[in-house]
Structure 1
């Protein structure tokens, strides 16, 4: 590959070199657009710019153009109202779509080499507490990192197209799916692809491809994909969180290679990598030491010169420099003066066949105790359906009792379909604690909804921890019929212009039980002439229940 240093990307436009596709963008066009943006920013006196672009090629234009203009760049994690309010005073312009990008174009500046130390980029991360944090970097740190990545894996990747499931707003996506392929001359997909089927479709359009993925996506990859064709993937990268060992093993079985896990952070950049159940291998130039409590300290070419970053990651370092992670020290809590490691207990829970993922937090009610968020495995969901919630949690308490004192056993349990991760693949501890305090759900999760001529079809997921399962029946939880009727009417009122008053039922049928974790389809049709709401629940091809709800206008 014809490597171009990061600071020299604007020096010459390689007409034949294609950067991205759908629509195609050549390196020459990238330079032209970036220099036009640089001219427009200088003409307007813009010094600080916030950039949040879904299109990775547009993001490349924005970065190079802003750096050429001498403007600093902020990459916010999202575009929520509170995010924009938080950073508004720190920037002159927000750039959030292609139209806003093009509107800033002006007379182009001449091509020039970028100043590695003067070009600035700020990343935003939620941190372990959920409080937004700004991390400043310069171009030299990122240039050092992309060159290290190319030294490690460039020969193997060759001309592979980079297909990504992660956003480019964060350090992992920014480096692996934008800056690295730009320098190496590899194609990269413009859009973040959030579903395995989308990753497959995009991958199979290219003779050579590699994945820049998250654990959240990789663990959802199932047998329905064309694994023989996908086994041509050059390398599978995973970062943003821990990849469950069973997911890594499944990928190894299907693809013939272990995914390459990247350990790092927005603050440090990449720290280490590994494939399979092995120790972590530090990246070239990364120097590790430890604090008195065993937490990793990082010195790296991806950090400012002389800076040592203190992490909260406990580790055991071997003589050859490789290391094992032992959990986060900032997630050690005290209960009745006893120090309890939440990561250790989470690991113990996931060793049980019934638990796929676990996160623990502190519940402060009367006296402090632990609570657990769980995503059940298939066997765990089966146990819940056959034995009930109480038997499941008691079994897990007994299992955990082999690893801790009684005071550390969770007193509150919440069963989730999936962990509510942020766009960065994180679950801040503050959100864990809030979920543990929240009441159990009373409504289904609406996965999708589609309009019909006279109604709607909704795809629903039945929460495994639905409050109505308690007492109906404790050892065999089923969804009560009265709740199914109530949901039909409630969802119908949200989607259809219904009379508000319930007046009775007709032809009510219950044919199949609805159980925890079921995915069901609800069809709603409103007969306006007769003022009747027809509803039908189906589980795959089997009818669960159906009926007609009679409705009347409010009196008076």
Structure 2
């Protein structure tokens, strides 16, 4: 790759980067920094042959200089998503650590001083790159790329969007450590002679402010970031944007429309992956859901026994050989519709389960805003593989959780899913969160989602929903496999569950009695695991406000079953058994 193919700046005073510290870095300054970095790498290679260098920088300008220097010095640059200790330890045969590596004492954090003559600049860039998949469907995998492959895609993107991107500065809320950010916020502006911002914006309000200063500008974003918009931001300053790019996954139609209403720009969605690079694009204006292939991309389908819908196959100048994705597609002429992923098909107890289907069913519930479902493998806490659901609640669902508790909410969601799913396809473990966690690339890797299930999210009943406890004690163990307790309680008149149940004669609902049994069982008997079922439930007499009652509890440790009974003076209100499983 020749110098003039990588850099498109026509003059030394051309603006290359609006740095995070406020400096405006010209092409002349960039060349001095690049020459100094190359001199350092040549010096290091003279002492010890250096072939593989790991590169991580939070600052895009510093990353840019080290990237170009490494390629100009014929290194293989390993570019992981983060610089965590576990990530560094997983990288193999690294000879040099460039950038910010807290766990590596030999890391070169700062750029060398720019005191080297620019005539020492490389004229060719023959190094190679090793990137990593996001890990959305498993462990991140390394993918080898060459600079000509990346530049071939940039040529196609430039051909597609030349008029829209002309003279535009690039501002981004995604990291350059991933292929999408590397291409769109760095290599593309370098090759077309446009400036880029050195910071990765966390605050979109600040991005809109800088867009006004650097206008015309482009925003390189991800679906996760566009979905977390704030209507109070200065969206009128989006008039200084020429467009918004989004990649990392399909953008929800409602999010695309909302961004268009706020900014005046329908996001340009780029579909692709680390393995394939860019494949296709779409704008959802006028309800469009179809993807249009980029120029030079040849698409076909492959029938897979595990997937009822054909998988997309990709051939392009920026893919070393044909690649079969895990995306199911249906073609409409030359365009296509994404129909989910084959790798979201899980097998549990010999039954094939579509995780995407479970997620869609959950998202259709009025209690749920969004959801992710994954397989929780068998371990010391789980006797078998089960499904776990990570759920963001709607306003209705949040109110239900606050007033009626987790147990009641989970029962409602399980009941919602039951008509459409086999029993093993209904999640057994539930986590309710404010938002689905994402990494810097706007992705939700499995390892990030799994963190929500590493610790027990204890069952709880809102305090306002509990009866008044007059006496409670745990009895001595009844044999080696049984624990018991009893609670004397009074039913308050102002329980939130009483109004409307029933208007003329309020009674404590049966589901609330189940919650009380579970609450006091967890509190007094330290029952492990999560609720999994119930049996022999009987409601014999009405439990009403100001009533006294005694709750008798007995937990069979071996069978993981809690037997309960509400009674008073020989009258029994309700009884039954609740089952639990370790998750």
Alignment TM-score, normalising by the size of structure 2: 0.70
- Name 1:20's counterpart in structure 2: 17
1:255-270 alignment to 2 at 5 Å?
255-270=263-278
Shift of 1:328: 1.7
Alignment partner of 1:297 out of 313, 318, 336? 313
2:127 maps to which of 119, 134, 146: 119
- Written as runs of structure 1 = structure 2, the 5 A alignment for 1:341-490 is 341-363=354-376, 364=378, 365-433=382-450, 435-436=452-453, 438-440=455-457, 467=458, 469-470=460-461, 472-473=463-464
State the Cα distance separating 1:241 from its structure 2 match.
Answer: 3.1
Q: 1:215 to 1:123 in 2, by over 3 A?
A: same
Which one of 325, 333, 337 corresponds to residue 324 of structure 1?
A: 337
Question: Judging changes above 3 Å, is the alpha-carbon distance between structure 1 residues 405 and 36 closer, same or farther for their aligned structure 2 residues?
Answer: same
CA distance in structure 2 between the aligned counterparts of 1:99 and 1:389, rounded to whole angstroms: 47
Residues in 2 aligned to 1:148 and 1:381: alpha-carbon distance in whole angstroms: 46
| 8 Å Cα contact 2:224-2:443 kept in structure 1 | no
The reply on whether 1:30 has 2:30 as its aligned counterpart is yes
Are 1:313 and 1:329, in contact at CA under 8 Å, matched by a contact in 2?
yes
Distance in 1 (alpha carbons) for counterparts of 2:76 and 2:402: 55
1:220 aligns with 2:233: no
Query: Which residue in the other structure is 1:69 paired with?
Result: 73
Which residue number corresponds to residue 89 of structure 1? 93
Matched, 1:182 2:186: no
Does the aligned pair in 2 maintain the 1:15–1:27 contact within 8 Å?
yes
CA–CA separation in structure 2 for the residues paired with 1:239 and 1:265: 9
- C-alpha distance 145-5 of structure 1, shift in aligned 2 (>3 A): farther
Query: Structure 1 residue 434: deviation in Å?
Result: 5.2
CA distance in 2, matches of 1:108, 1:93: 24
Q: Does 1:279 find its partner at 2:290? A: yes
**Structure 1 alignment gaps of length 5 or more:** 441-466, 477-512, 514-556
Tell me, what secondary structure is at the counterpart of 2:281? strand
Tell me by how many angstroms 1:171 deviates. 0.5
Distance in 2 of aligned mates of 1:371 and 1:473: 29
Instruction: Measure the CA separation in 1 of the matches of 2:134 and 2:389.
Output: 22
Structure 1 pair 30–315 and aligned structure 2 pair: CA distance change class (3 A): same
Q: For the residues of structure 1 that align with 2:292 and 2:86, how far apart are their CA atoms?
A: 39
Q: Any residues of structure 2 matched to 1:139-154 within 5 Å, and which?
A: 139-154=147-162
Inter-partner Cα distance in structure 1 for 2:217 and 2:9: 26
1:309 to 323, 339, 348: 323
TM-score (norm 1): 0.73
For residues 143 and 187 of structure 1, what CA distance do their matches in structure 2 show?
17
Q: CA deviation at 1:232?
A: 3.8
In the alignment, is the contact (CA less than 8 A) between 2:404 and 2:461 conserved in 1? no
Aligned counterparts of 2:124 and 2:420: Cα–Cα separation in 1: 55
**Residue 288 (structure 1) aligns with:** 299
Q: CA deviation at 1:431?
A: 4.5
3-state DSSP of counterpart to 2:236:
helix
SS at match of 2:43: helix
- Range with bigger deviation, 189-198 or 383-392: 383-392
Q: Deviations over 1:83-110 (max 9, x none)?
A: 2222263233433399532169756554
Aligned equivalents of 2:166, 2:43: Cα separation in 1: 40
Which of these two proteins has the greater Rg computed from alpha carbons?
2
* Structure 1 residue aligned with 2:537: none
Q: Deviations over 1:5-51 (max 9, x none)?
A: 87534698721311112211112222232133223312321433221
Aligned positions, number: 443
Q: What is the RMSD computed on CA atoms of the aligned residues?
A: 2.8
Equivalent residues of 1:8, 1:114 under 8 A apart: no
Distance 1:222 1:390 in 2: 32
Does the C-alpha gap of structure 1 residues 105 and 168 become closer, same or farther in structure 2, counting only changes over 3 Å?
A: farther
How far apart are 1:312 and its partner, in Å?
Answer: 1.4
Residue 49 to residue 371, structure 1, CA distance change in 2 (3 Å): closer
Match for residue 169 of structure 1? 177
Distance 1:32 1:65 in 2: 11
Distance of 1:423 and 1:9 partners within structure 2: 26
CA–CA separation in structure 2 for the residues paired with 1:39 and 1:151: 35
| Structure 1 residues 338 and 207: CA distance shift in structure 2, 3 A | same
The aligned residue for residue 448 of structure 1 is none
Cα deviation, residue 213, structure 1: 0.9
Which deviations, in whole Å up to 9, do the C-alpha atoms of 1:295-337 show, x marking residues without a partner?
Answer: 2221111112xx01122111112232x1111222112112332
Indicate if the aligned counterparts of 2:223 and 2:249 stay in contact, CA closer than 8 A.
yes
**C-alpha displacement at 1:237, in angstroms?**
1.0
